[in-house]
A and B are shown apart, each in its own frame.
Chain A
Amino acid sequence: KQEVTQIPAALSVPEGENLVLNCSFTDSAIYNLQWFRQDPGKGLTSLLLIQSSQREQTSGRLNASLDKSSGRSTLYIAASQPGDSATYLCAVRLGGGSQGNLIFGKGTKLSVKP
């Protein structure tokens, strides 16, 4: 059974710092991995999606990497800002079609202090 773990559960950093969020999964046979951001009481905003054949994806100050063999993904945030404060969730998909549901970690709550 696929399990997704995110460590740490919470992280507080001063503004301007570079930081890394971690995500690990137990079964390396994934279809893709997606990082989301969730603001309090709100839905999920997709940040980056990495296909199983890819090693990394970049969008602005965000960079996500994927190492399937070790069952790990990292989300790197450069030059953090108070507006980056949110909960970050990673989710893996085991397959396409009727196997396409997402399996989520419980998230890392990030607080960026001005």
Chain B
Amino acid sequence: KAGVTQTPRYLIKTRGQQVTLSCSPISGHRSVSWYQQTPGQGLQFLFEYFSETQRNKGNFPGRFSGRQFSNSRSEMNVSTLELGDSALYLCASSPRLGGTANYGYTFGSGTRLTVV
């Protein structure tokens, strides 16, 4: 059974550009969440999508957006990149919105974004 797949694994972008990251959840999982991991702030929740709708959102500026397709695959977009956006971006999938009481989330290996 394939796990959560994130592409690309590494990205280098210039300040001011925009970037799109992709996440394919485990087959049958309908919820996809995105997290940002930095050395200073640790892991922080960005948003969660379920049935193509954003259901929950963390405290990030509007430059961070996402979407989910009918096959549950999700993309995250960051516009007008800043140096502080350099981070490991992780996505996680779950069968249900908000996970389940005894299942939780399965994480992908992440996309390492470097903004120069």
What is the count of residue pairs linking A and B with beta-carbon distances less than 8 angstroms? 78
Q: Which of A34, A101, A107 contacts B56 (CB 8 A)?
A: A101
B84 interface residue per 8 A CB criterion: no
Give B4's nearest chain A residue, CB to CB: A43
Contact with A along B29-54 (1 / 0, CB 8 A): 00001010000001111001000000
**Known contacts A43-B90, A93-B99, A106-B42; A100 and B48 CB within 8 A of each other:** yes
A98 interface residue per 8 A CB criterion: yes
Chain B interface residue count, Cβ-Cβ cutoff 8 angstroms: 32
Give B55's nearest chain A residue, CB to CB: A98
**Known contacts A43-B109, A44-B90, A106-B42; A98 and B104 CB within 8 A of each other:** no
Q: Which of B33, B88, B110 contacts A101 (CB 8 A)?
A: B33
Q: By the criterion CB–CB under 8 Å, are A43 and B107 in contact?
A: yes
CB of A102 to closest CB in B, whole Å: 7
Q: By the criterion CB–CB under 8 Å, are A31 and B112 in contact?
A: no
**Known contacts A42-B109, A101-B48, A107-B42; A96 and B101 CB within 8 A of each other:** yes
Q: Which of B44, B58, B97 contacts A100 (CB 8 A)?
A: B97
A interface with B by C-beta (< 8 Å): 31-32, 34, 36, 41-46, 49, 51, 89, 91, 93, 95-107
The 8 closest A-B pairs by CB, nearest first: A100-B98, A104-B43, A44-B107, A43-B109, A101-B45, A106-B42, A96-B98, A43-B107
B interface with A by C-beta (< 8 Å): 4, 6, 33, 35, 42-45, 48, 55-56, 58, 88, 90, 92, 94, 96-110, 112
